[in-house]
Chain A
Amino acid sequence: MLTTRRSAALFAAGAAALALTSCGSDATDTPGGTAPTEVSTEITSDPVTLTLAYTDDPPTQALVDGFTALHPNVTIETQQTPFSDYVKSVQLAMSSESPPDIAQYNPGAMRSLVPAGLILDLSAWSDAYGWDASFPASSLEVLTSDDEAKQYGEGGLYAVPGALSVLGVYYNKDLVTAAGVDGAPATLDEFEDDLAAVAASGVDPLTVPSLEVGGVHLWGALLNRLGDVQDYKDWVYGVDGSTIQTPAAEEATDIMVDWIAKGYIPESSNAVGYADAIGEFTAGEAAYHVTGNWAAAAIEAELGDNVGFFPMPRPTADAPMVASGASVAYSISAKSEHPDVAAAFLDYLGSAEAAPVQFESGFMPVNVDATVEATGLKADIATAFSQVVAVDGIVPFPDFAAPAMLDQLVSGIQGLISKQSTTDQYLEGLQNVWSSYHG
């Protein structure tokens, strides 16, 4: 401090020296992609130990237990990490000397593992096992990418799903009934009428945790119901020339802006966290809440029979069913010594045996032919999900479009909610992030 001025000079000199010394370290990108060709669907009967790194539980531990019950010679050691740490550390774990054999896949956080050749292209196993038939096509798309991981939806397969999720609207039955609303709406217009009726009854219609991703979920759900699904997917998957500045995206954003103007989404939403919103909803302080089926268990525990679920309504009653969804998916490390055993675990995920395990843990089964028995909230979700899956209507979340997209989406929605930015500015901001990554 005392010698600050001298220090600053030292610092500057040091920085200049560094700039000079580091000129020599230029490196060229190495081509990526590791695709085994010789694979087997038969696995060894010798004792094998695999390690598996993951973040979502349920369903992971239950799936591991289900698999090892079928293959007693296989031991799977699991390492769980909370989500925000996981997305930060999984790249580093997978690039270390002794990575886990299997890792839960995240299309955003693990992009660079594909070009680095650190996770296996599963195409050969997919052919051998016939995974196209056992896994829903829409759930595999987002796990497929070119070998630079710039464009999704085509190329190699880098993970398969172990459980599926779907986004929809939860509603408090007592509150909507008190407002004279008759159950779940069939169309978007009807939903808007319902929101107005609830607001008129003196109850907050929505709780939107826009401090975190809640506002993005709502916007995404609206967009998916209004826009062309293929245009949207192209944008998320990074297809050349795609844009989010479409009339449909403008319409979806305008609806949200309208809801903000009407006070359905108050400015205080920007201080509401994800857990806060679930708390408000289960405490009966708001009638509707948009989130995924992963929250079903927590919500049902508080509200019991008093809660229902429906997918974001269509603009017209005959429009195709679409919903945002994702999966808990798993990849195999390129450094694994037992890739065939790991692949057998992945195959198990799409099997009929795994379906009840997946449903029990609150997710949707991967095997679409599996039938599940459910009542109450879970039945609502299962119904909604099967309608969507039947027409391959599961679309990915918008934040997969680029690594910086999640932060841009969250702050963009906050800008709309604080009435500081317009629909055009919001979409332009998203497109700029997209272009700087894909352009």
Chain B
Amino acid sequence: MRVRPVGVGLRYGVLFALAALVLVPFVGIILASVHPPDQQVSGLSLPDRISWENFSVAWNQAHFGSLVRSSLIIAAGVVPAAVILATLAGYGLTVLRAPGSRPVTGAFVLGLTIPVELVVVSLYFNLRDVGLSNSYLAIIMAEIALFLPFGVYWMSAHFAQVPIELVEASRIDGARDLIVLLRVLLPISWPAITTLTVLIFMWSWNQFLLVLVLMQDPEKRTAPAGLGYFVGQYSTNIPLLSAASLIVILPIVAVYLAFQRNFVSGLTQGAVK
């Protein structure tokens, strides 16, 4: 049996109290964002009238429209490429078991502990030397490289769960490696691939330091990086700042709510398996 130190009522009370603590900041900025522009908003307060103006000001004048577009361009470059490369590598390492796959896997896994801070400075100078500074391509390639360790790890772990009979049966039928991957493994791998896709999208969307350093053209910054600059300029205009923050947050929250099972499994699966 399980110990039940507290009653169900108290249990839910604690959970709801904690949920409230998590949600209060969101409620705060949502309320602040619909206050009239320039109004001083210090605490939680309801506006006299709901004003959507801050969103249009942030979107147009503060260029959040173009910042969000940059974020999407970068994500569109990073996500498919990283997922495909990780899937191929996971297949080569775990299913085909290329010679030397253990140290190679180890080298990828090592990348999981390395902070962005370690590579960003030298990356900046390396990219400048090859004329790739200030370009989407540089950021896309760097992000792919940064997310590959997790991607390769994740796909390898997934392929390691696949019963080997499936692969061997199709090999006996004479299928080549690529056919085995496409016809046999992919159809049963969509949940793992979906999870990897949403996680990489999230990391790409949220990436800050890399973009801050590698992209000098303010028009081509991503939304979070733009927000980092925006705060210095408009730190007093709380309604506008809140609206800008919400513009940056909303896409990722929407993806999270739509794919929350994938997020949760991605963030905890390794431990739960």
A276 contacts the other chain (Cβ, under 8 Å)? yes
Work out how many contacts link A and B, with CB atoms closer than 8 A.
49
**A279 interface neighbour in B110, B232, B236, Cβ under 8 Å:** B236
A92 pairs with B128, CB closer than 8 A: yes
User: Number of contacting residues on B, CB 8 A?
Assistant: 20
**B232 interface neighbour in A81, A89, A275, A283, Cβ under 8 Å:** A275
B232 pairs with A273, CB closer than 8 A: yes
B113 pairs with A7, CB closer than 8 A: yes
A1 pairs with B133, CB closer than 8 A: no
- Can you name the residue of chain B whose Cβ is closest to the Cβ of A11? B110
- Can you name the residue of chain B whose Cβ is closest to the Cβ of A211? B235
Report Cα–Cα, A1/B157, bound state, in Å: 14
* B112 partner residues in chain A, CB cutoff 8 A: 1
| B223 shortest CB reach to chain A, Å | 16
Report Cα–Cα, A88/B125, bound state, in Å: 13
Report Cα–Cα, A3/B110, bound state, in Å: 8
| A11 shortest CB reach to chain B, Å | 7
* A283 partner residues in chain B, CB cutoff 8 A: 40
**A10 interface neighbour in B110, B131, B133, B236, Cβ under 8 Å:** B110
Report Cα–Cα, A85/B109, bound state, in Å: 34
| A21 shortest CB reach to chain B, Å | 15
* A97 partner residues in chain B, CB cutoff 8 A: 131
A4 contacts the other chain (Cβ, under 8 Å)? yes
A276 pairs with B235, CB closer than 8 A: yes
A346 contacts the other chain (Cβ, under 8 Å)? no
B234 contacts the other chain (Cβ, under 8 Å)? yes
Report Cα–Cα, A2/B150, bound state, in Å: 12
| B260 shortest CB reach to chain A, Å | 25
B236 pairs with A275, CB closer than 8 A: yes
Interface membership of chain A positions 53-97, coded 1 if the CB is closer than 8 angstroms to chain B and 0 otherwise:
000000000000000000000000000011011001100100011
* A354 partner residues in chain B, CB cutoff 8 A: none
B218 contacts the other chain (Cβ, under 8 Å)? yes
- Can you name the residue of chain B whose Cβ is closest to the Cβ of A79? B217
Known A4-B113, A273-B232; judge A96-B128 contact (CB<8 A). Answer: yes
A129 contacts the other chain (Cβ, under 8 Å)? no
| A225 shortest CB reach to chain B, Å | 29
B60 contacts the other chain (Cβ, under 8 Å)? no
B233 contacts the other chain (Cβ, under 8 Å)? yes
* B25 partner residues in chain A, CB cutoff 8 A: none
Interface membership of chain B positions 75-115, coded 1 if the CB is closer than 8 angstroms to chain A and 0 otherwise:
00000000000000000000000000000001101101100
B16 contacts the other chain (Cβ, under 8 Å)? no
B234 pairs with A81, CB closer than 8 A: no
B229 contacts the other chain (Cβ, under 8 Å)? yes
Known A1-B112, A6-B106, A7-B109; judge A275-B218 contact (CB<8 A). Answer: no
B216 contacts the other chain (Cβ, under 8 Å)? yes
- Can you name the residue of chain B whose Cβ is closest to the Cβ of A278? B236
A7 pairs with B110, CB closer than 8 A: yes
Report Cα–Cα, A81/B40, bound state, in Å: 30
Report Cα–Cα, A3/B113, bound state, in Å: 11
Interface membership of chain B positions 201-245, coded 1 if the CB is closer than 8 angstroms to chain A and 0 otherwise:
000000000000000111000000000010011111100000000
Report Cα–Cα, A127/B235, bound state, in Å: 46
**B106 interface neighbour in A7, A88, A278, Cβ under 8 Å:** A7
Report Cα–Cα, A90/B98, bound state, in Å: 47
- Can you name the residue of chain B whose Cβ is closest to the Cβ of A282? B236
* B216 partner residues in chain A, CB cutoff 8 A: 81, 85, 88-89
| B62 shortest CB reach to chain A, Å | 12
* B133 partner residues in chain A, CB cutoff 8 A: 92
B218 pairs with A82, CB closer than 8 A: yes
**A85 interface neighbour in B128, B218, B235, B237, Cβ under 8 Å:** B218
A275 pairs with B229, CB closer than 8 A: no
A274 contacts the other chain (Cβ, under 8 Å)? yes
Using A1-B112, A279-B236 as known contacts, list a sample of 18 further A-B pairs with CB atoms less than 8 Å apart, ordered by residue number in A.
A1-B113, A2-B109, A3-B109, A4-B113, A7-B109, A7-B113, A10-B107, A85-B216, A88-B216, A89-B216, A96-B128, A97-B131, A273-B232, A274-B232, A275-B234, A275-B235, A275-B236, A280-B236
Selected A-B contacts with CB under 8 Å, 23 pairs: A1-B112, A1-B113, A2-B109, A3-B106, A7-B106, A7-B109, A7-B110, A10-B106, A81-B216, A82-B218, A84-B229, A85-B216, A85-B218, A89-B216, A92-B133, A96-B128, A273-B235, A274-B232, A275-B232, A275-B233, A276-B235, A279-B236, A283-B40
The 6 A-B pairs with the shortest beta carbon distances in the complex, nearest first, are A279-B236, A7-B110, A89-B216, A273-B235, A275-B235, A3-B106
Which residue numbers of B lie inside 8 Å of A, CB to CB?
A: 40, 106-107, 109-110, 112-113, 128, 131, 133, 216-218, 229, 232-237
